[in-house]
Amino acid sequence: MKTKRTTQGKIALFKALFTGRCDVYGTYDIKTGNARQEKATVTDTVIHNHLGGRKPYGVYLLDEDKTKAIAVDFDSDDANPVLEFVKTAQHYGFAAYIERSKSKGYHVWVFFDCPVLAWKARLVVSEILDEIGQPNTEIFPKQDALQEGQYGNFINAPLFGLLVPQGRTVFLNPDNGLKPLPNQWDVIENIVRVSEQALDMIIEVNDWTKDRVATPAPDTSPDSLSRTFGLPPCAKRMLEEGVKEYQRVACFRLAVAVHKAGVPLDAAMAALNVWALKNQPVNGKSIITRREIMDQAADAYRRPYRSCGCNHPAVRPYCDPACPLNKKADRTA
């Protein structure tokens, strides 16, 4: 059933994603392409004019030192690096969305569930760009923080009404030859957002701090989760060492453990995707897939499971004899 959305509803959806500084925005002349800054409040009328194709809207994503989205500007029509970026982002446990830009190339967007420290978002994105061999690709916001009197840089927002019919400024399907997705507002409404805790975990698990800030990110790596979140020793060992057998059961049990410790699902997913790379399955079996990890984690988070699975062969080899949970399992076995 097709969802009918009012104009005001679309504006609200759009503003929730493509937001940053509210006292300034960017635009450009439709005929000449010349860009300029507008020192004015970002009102519903500004967004309405953008969506209606009357006046483009560019968002200043950086607000002091935080951002609710980050965008990568691939200034080339070569789609291969774009697809590689999205695939690598998925490997690290978060979604990235491809937009065909207004003239040449692509923008790839990542969205957050609340304003996050920009340095964390920029660090994760820059590391992925390094990994795929595209280190010089432009990232918005361009700075980690603004100094007094600075505005930063704007990036043109998607869905400019004049260009949408031309297949420009629209979101694309990476699984279907980068064709425009049929319902852009369904895409907008169902964007999967990343938490700051997930960023922290990705940064710490991969040792990406690089001394970029004086205060390091919270210690949420797999080898320190037991100290930070109080995980049982078996879960700590499994996260540190990986497993050789019963990968799906192990994944489920790890997800139960981090859920009980209060870790959000997206942060758990980020850690489990990195954990999977440590696994060394026997008998020629393949490493658990991202889809399987997602399914196991979702099941673990669906109900408040209490058992740690101490007596299951997937968990038993990693038990600590001194663990009170292990002793309790021995008594009840």
Q: Name the token pair of 205.
A: 């698990």
Tokens of 291: 């889809």
pLDDT number for residue 167: 96
State the Cα–Cα distance between residues 81 and 78, nearest whole angstrom. 7
Out of 2-6, 15-19, 139-143, 211-215, which region has the weakest mean confidence (pLDDT)?
Answer: 211-215
d(CA 67, CA 61): 6
- Supply the pLDDT for residue 216: 36
Whether residue 99 has pLDDT greater than 60:
yes
User: Which domains does the chain carry?
Assistant: 7-196 (3.90.920.20), 222-332 (no CATH)
Structure tokens at 115: 């304003």
Q: Provide the pLDDT for residue 206.
A: 85
First vs last C-alpha separation in the chain: 52
Per-residue confidence at 322, pLDDT binned at 50, 70, 90? low
In a 13 Å sphere around the CA of 77, the CA atoms on its Cβ side amount to 4
Give counts: helices (H), strands (E), the chain. 12, 10
Q: What is the pLDDT, as a whole number, of residue 217?
A: 37
Q: Is the confidence at residue 227, as pLDDT, over 90?
A: no
Rounded mean pLDDT, 24-36? 94
pLDDT value for 29 = 94
Helix, strand, coil percentages (3-state) for the chain, rounded to 5, are: 40, 15, 45
Q: Look at residue 328 in the predicted model and tell me its pLDDT.
A: 46
CB 229 within 8 A of CB 263: yes
Q: Inform me whether the pLDDT recorded for 86 exceeds 90.
A: yes
* pLDDT for res 215: 34
Poorest-pLDDT segment among 21-30, 90-99, 190-199, 295-304: 295-304
Average pLDDT, rounded, for the chain: 87
Q: What share of the chain has pLDDT > 90, as a percent?
A: 61
pLDDT at residue 214 is higher than 60: no
State the pLDDT at residue 332: 39
pLDDT computed for residue 324 by the predictor: 54
Please tell me the least confidently modeled range out of 17-21, 106-110, 141-145, 258-262. Answer: 258-262
